[in-house]
Structure 1
Amino acid sequence: MDFIIAFIPAVGWGVMPILAHITKASPREQLTGTVIGAVLFALCLYIIHPTSLAPIHFVVSFISGIFWAAGQLLQFQAFQKVSVSIAIPVICGLQLIGTTLFAALILGEWITGYQYGIGVGSLLCILAGVLLTSNQGKSAGLSKPLPVPIIIMLVCSGLALSSYVVINQFFHISGLSVILPQSLGMLCSAMVMNLKGKKRLGFSLVVHNLPTGLVWSIANLALFISNGLIGMAASFPISQASIAIACVGSILIFKEKKSPKEWIGILAGITVLMIGVGMISLLKP
């Protein structure tokens, strides 16, 4: 049952970027709609199941929401520059490096030599899968290699999205107590970002992204519950099976043309990635 919960974020986060991209909204409209959907979910959850809002828990979770909003805006902006099938593997790969190593080295979730051996091997599999999956050439709308500004955008997104997860774990905050203050941090960040925007938001496009926020919220809640059940070093890599869903789903839904060689690379990358996820999911502390 623990690992079933751990796979819910993979499905939610795999579907989320596809839902956002379908709306054809701007990055700020996508972020705003997603955040409002997340806040509505958090408020309903809090009404149904009130949790403690201790000051330190509130502040830390609020800050994690700020990191998420910054990382997610950069992710949505990256989708405007390159396809979802390229951006997602790179960003998720960086998140894997940050969160898993933080959990293993700082939180001490890897203790034995066996755990380190399997853990390092699984991370190498996952990263190899990410590289294979993202190696897509001109058919993805961009010649290789990626331009430096886009690489910087993807790296900053990955670091910010890693920080949103690890900051709560560092202070041992998990479960339902994270959700409401985190969503308020996301909302405040989105409001500040919109104040700096030059164009007005389209109301209908923002509304169309509310389901994106709902899907993200369910996945996010499942992740923090899973962190408490099996540890972040195992739960977060499992969640990154979302790469497979987002990558293949975006190619099929948005009808991206791929050569046979690219399809072989993508499917091989997903296979290697899933082997790595399966290995690391065994490292329950």
Structure 2
Amino acid sequence: MNILIALIPALGWGLNPLLISKLGGKPVNQTLGTGVGALIVGLIVQLAVRPSVDTGTFWLSALSGAFWVLGQIGQYTSYSRMGVSTTMPISTGLQLVGTSVIGVLMFGEWAGDGAKIVGFAAIVLMIIGVALTAVTDSPDGRNGLMSGLVILVPTTVGYWVYSALPKAVSASGTAIFFPQMLGMFLAAVLYALISGRGRAFKERTSWLNAFAGLIFGVSALAYIFSAKANGVATAYVITQVSVVISTLGGLLVLHETKSSRELRLTIIGLVLIVAGSVMTAFLG
């Protein structure tokens, strides 16, 4: 049963990019819909569990959720520019590298020289993996890649902050869950207003994308329970299956195309990214 719980976020986060792409709409519709769905799950959890959290932790957690939206905007925008099968391994690799470095520099993780050596070797593997998945042979592919990276790389900072802020507070995952989901919703609304797409609130695709938000919220909640039941390292490693699902799904379900050389390098890159994440997960 514990392993089944661990598979929920892996499947949910892996299938979500495919669902988002199938549902369609612009990044603002996708972001707004995701925020709505996530808030619904957050409200249900809050009403059912009623965890207590102090004001400072509440708003810090909400800020964390808001930064997640920044990362998600970059990811959604990149889907249309370079495809899910290229975006997801690059995005995942950048997230893993950034959060690992922040963990070492700000929170003293990887204590000891041996852990640091293994950890930074893992980072090198992930960087190589990202580079391999980004290889493209066609001029159009290279143009799309550069266009996607321009937005994906800087917005990944949002994911880094989303992962780092909860480490600065002493509260359970269920306690910070609702404020994070609330922060996601508020940031999504703000994005829609600032981008001049207020009509997105009335567009059908925004509400359809709420299903993706529901899946994200349930997956995030399942990860909290998985970490408690299986341990953080095991739960974290299993979630990395999501990048394999989303990447291969982009090719098989969304019919994105890669040359035989690109596909071979992408698979090798995925192996390196997952291997690097496994190495970092057990360093503590």
* TM-score after normalising by structure 1: 0.87
1:94–1:159 Cα contact (<8 Å) kept: no
Alignment correspondent of 2:191 = 193
**Alignment partners' CA distance in 1, 2:70 and 2:46:** 24
The CA deviation at 1:144 is 5.6
Q: Which amino acid aligns with 2:53?
A: L
The CA deviation at 1:49 is 0.9
Alignment correspondent of 1:25 = 25
**Alignment partners' CA distance in 2, 1:171 and 1:6:** 24
Matched, 1:182 2:189: no
Alignment correspondent of 1:44 = 44
- Give the number of aligned pairs: 281
Matched, 1:120 2:120: yes
1:235–1:281 Cα contact (<8 Å) kept: no
Paired-residue identity, %: 28
Q: 1:173 to 1:240 in 2, by over 3 A?
A: farther
**Alignment partners' CA distance in 1, 2:161 and 2:280:** 20
Within 5 Å, give how 1:99-138 maps onto structure 2.
Answer: 99-138=99-138
Within 5 Å, give how 1:85-96 maps onto structure 2.
Answer: 85-96=85-96
Alignment correspondent of 1:268 = 268
The CA deviation at 1:4 is 7.0
**Alignment partners' CA distance in 1, 2:5 and 2:124:** 24
Q: 1:170 to 1:12 in 2, by over 3 A?
A: same
Q: Deviations over 1:80-136 (max 9, x none)?
A: 222112222222222112211222332122112332222222222222222212223
2:126–2:273 Cα contact (<8 Å) kept: yes
1:126–1:276 Cα contact (<8 Å) kept: yes
Q: Which amino acid aligns with 1:181?
A: P
Alignment correspondent of 1:142 = 141
The CA deviation at 1:225 is 5.4
The CA deviation at 1:43 is 0.8
1:74–1:157 Cα contact (<8 Å) kept: yes
Q: Which amino acid aligns with 2:282?
A: L
Q: 1:215 to 1:253 in 2, by over 3 A?
A: same
**Alignment partners' CA distance in 2, 1:254 and 1:145:** 17
Q: Deviations over 1:236-274 (max 9, x none)?
A: 566444222211111111112222111211111122223
Alignment correspondent of 1:168 = 166
**Alignment partners' CA distance in 1, 2:28 and 2:119:** 37
The CA deviation at 1:211 is 1.9
Q: Which amino acid aligns with 2:151?
A: M
Structure 2: where are the runs of 5+ without partners?
none
2:100–2:280 Cα contact (<8 Å) kept: no
**Alignment partners' CA distance in 2, 1:186 and 1:168:** 14
1:10–1:238 Cα contact (<8 Å) kept: yes
**Alignment partners' CA distance in 2, 1:50 and 1:41:** 13
**Alignment partners' CA distance in 2, 1:127 and 1:230:** 26
**Alignment partners' CA distance in 2, 1:8 and 1:110:** 28
Q: 1:100 to 1:3 in 2, by over 3 A?
A: farther
2:82–2:144 Cα contact (<8 Å) kept: no
**Alignment partners' CA distance in 2, 1:82 and 1:19:** 17
Secondary structure of the structure 2 residue equivalent to 1:257: coil
Q: 1:130 to 1:224 in 2, by over 3 A?
A: farther
**Alignment partners' CA distance in 2, 1:220 and 1:255:** 28
Whichever structure has more helix as a proportion of its residues is 2
**Alignment partners' CA distance in 2, 1:238 and 1:170:** 24
